[in-house]
């Protein structure tokens, strides 16, 4: 069954998504006050010891620039990669913030990757044995920028956890260009397996053992994270992940392909080439199919959706988002795939890509938040 809800507004905001693909002259481009610089020696990334140290800058390295890809990264000739956005970090805190406590836990010592956990303070006062829904979240950022520790994701999930009274686990994954696709997908699946290893109460993290209700597990992500959430849900179905995921929220998904998905999809060749350039030069340079790679071309490829490993799916799209037709096409394809779950589509007609994160003052942001929270707690 396919349900569709449309929100509209009299407000019009400038395009948020295409700023990610507009190649600006250096004189017109301003850096974050704390850009992230990661050093590479040959193929070895100099991993940083804790998430918060992502803010450090290797000041003694060469400053000669090899290439720039605003607003994502600047690449230096010595191999360093400097991230130009998504670098504002908020540390985890056991002191309640808006009624929520948080902490970081390493799930992959091999790659020095962590998850950030968010727990409503009031959950610690529940009777013994009481459980709350578990939200597994995969952040966006074109597979290149962003992290669970970034301010917009920390703030968003703090609000979700408070409103939905759930435990959230936000996944850090390796990012391109240092670690091109499929590294992000491999890490996300490893994190999900690690999280589910707690389902019998014997895992390494007390919060998950004690509070997570594995009969109410939800998977969600935005943009590139929504893309990965789809692939994770498909893999969960194919590999019979137990317990089964209850629901998956696909928010403004980054699905694409060489050709428009329909006559209403973006036709502008220059704009399409910008998206292709980010994918082919930064995110997935080893892809032989370019933007028709099945990781990216989810709607137009022949991939089978019938084994989607969850009971229901929420697909959120924004009317001014370059990916809107892909998102709507995805919902239709899922509905017709033979999968027996429920699909609900929420469309914010006057909004742009990830407006609830990038333009949270929008009058539609609270409506989106309520729908997202209801999906988890309803």
Which of 114, 353, 356, 362 is flagged as catalytic? 353
Do residues 256 and 227 lie in contact, with contact meaning Cβ atoms separated by under 8 Å? no
Read off the tokens for 188: 């996300």
The residue that leads in pLDDT, 29 or 164, is: 164
Q: Half-sphere exposure of residue 331, counting CA atoms within 13 Å on the CB side?
A: 27
Of residues 39 and 109, more confidence is placed in 109
What is residue 263's three-state secondary structure?
Answer: coil
Bridge-based pairing state of the strands 113-120 and 167-171: antiparallel
Mean of pLDDT values over 332-354: 96
pLDDT at 15 over 50: no
Cβ proximity of 325 and 295 under 8 Å? no
Task: In whole angstroms, give the CA distance from residue 191 to residue 171.
Answer: 7
Q: Is 306 a catalytic residue?
A: no
Q: Report whether pLDDT(189) > 50.
A: yes
Q: Identify the bridge partners of residue 83 per DSSP, sorted by sequence position.
A: 36, 73
Active site residue 223: yes
pLDDT in tens, 312-342: 999 999 999 999 999 999 999 999 999 999 9
Q: How far is CA 22 from CA 145, 276, 307, in A?
A: 16, 13, 37
pLDDT at 63: 86
pLDDT at 36: 44
Is 202 one of the catalytic residues? no
Q: What is the pTM of this model?
A: 0.87
Across the range 367-378, mean pLDDT stands at 95
Rounded-to-integer distance, Cα 327 and Cα 317, Å:
6
> Which tokens in the block code for residue 345?
């589509």
Task: Please determine, for residue 26, whether its predicted confidence score (pLDDT) is greater than 50.
Answer: no
Average pLDDT, the chain: 87
Catalytic choice (321, 348, 350, 352)? 321
Per residue in 211-243, pLDDT (tens digit) is: 999 999 999 999 999 999 999 999 999 999 999
2-7+89-377 CATH fold: Rossmann fold (3.40.50)
Cα 277–280–285 angle (5° rounding)?
150
Choice among 2-6, 7-11, 76-80 with the minimum mean pLDDT: 7-11
Three-state DSSP at 271 gives helix
Please state the domain extents for the chain: 2-7+89-377, 19-83
**For 56-60, 200-204, 279-283, which range has the lowest pLDDT when averaged over its residues?**
56-60
Tell me the C-alpha distance between 249 and 376, whole Å. 9
Look at residue 139 and give its three-state secondary structure.
coil
Residue tagged 């850096």 (tokens) = 31
List CB contacts of 297: < 8 A, sequence separation 6 or more.
Answer: 255, 256, 257, 258, 289, 291
Instruction: Pick the catalytic residue from 223, 284, 287, 362.
Output: 223
């Amino acid at each position: 069954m396919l349900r569709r809800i449309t929100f509209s507004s009299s407000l019009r905001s400038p395009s948020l998504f295409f700023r990610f693909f507009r190649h600006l002259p250096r004189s017109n481009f301003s850096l974050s006050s704390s850009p992230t610089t990661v050093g590479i020696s040959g193929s070895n990334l100099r991993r940083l010891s804790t998430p918060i140290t992502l803010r450090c800058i290797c000041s003694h390295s060469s400053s000669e620039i090899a290439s720039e890809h605003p607003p994502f990264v600047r690449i230096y000739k010595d191999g360093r990669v400097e991230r130009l956005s998504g670098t504002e970090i908020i540390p985890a805190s056991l002191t309640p913030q808006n009624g929520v406590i948080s902490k970081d836990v390493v799930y992959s010592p091999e790659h020095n990757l962590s998850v950030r956990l968010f727990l409503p303070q009031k959950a610690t006062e529940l009777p013994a044995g009481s459980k709350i829904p578990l939200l597994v979240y995969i952040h966006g950022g074109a597979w290149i920028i962003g992290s669970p520790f970034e301010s917009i994701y920390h703030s968003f999930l703090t609000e979700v956890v408070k409103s939905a009274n759930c435990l959230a686990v936000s996944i850090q994954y390796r990012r391109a260009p240092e670690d091109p696709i499929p590294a992000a997908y491999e890490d996300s699946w490893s994190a999900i397996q690690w999280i589910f290893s707690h389902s019998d109460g014997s895992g390494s993290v007390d919060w998950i053992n004690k509070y997570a209700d594995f009969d109410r597990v939800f998977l969600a992500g935005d943009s590139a994270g929504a893309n990965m959430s789809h692939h994770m849900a498909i893999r969960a179905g194919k590999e019979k992940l137990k317990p089964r995921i209850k629901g998956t929220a696909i928010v403004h998904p980054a699905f694409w392909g060489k050709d428009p998905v329909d006559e209403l999809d973006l036709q502008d060749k220059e704009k399409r080439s910008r998206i292709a350039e980010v994918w082919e030069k930064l995110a997935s340079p080893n892809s032989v199919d370019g933007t028709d790679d099945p990781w990216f071309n989810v709607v137009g490829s022949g991939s089978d959706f019938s084994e989607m490993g969850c009971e229901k799916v929420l697909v959120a799209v924004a009317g001014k988002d370059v990916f809107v037709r892909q998102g709507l096409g995805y919902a239709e394809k899922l509905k017709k795939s033979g999968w027996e779950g429920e699909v609900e589509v929420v469309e914010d007609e006057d909004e742009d890509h990830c407006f609830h994160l990038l333009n949270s003052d929008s009058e539609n942001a609270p409506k989106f938040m309520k729908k997202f929270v209801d999906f988890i707690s309803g």
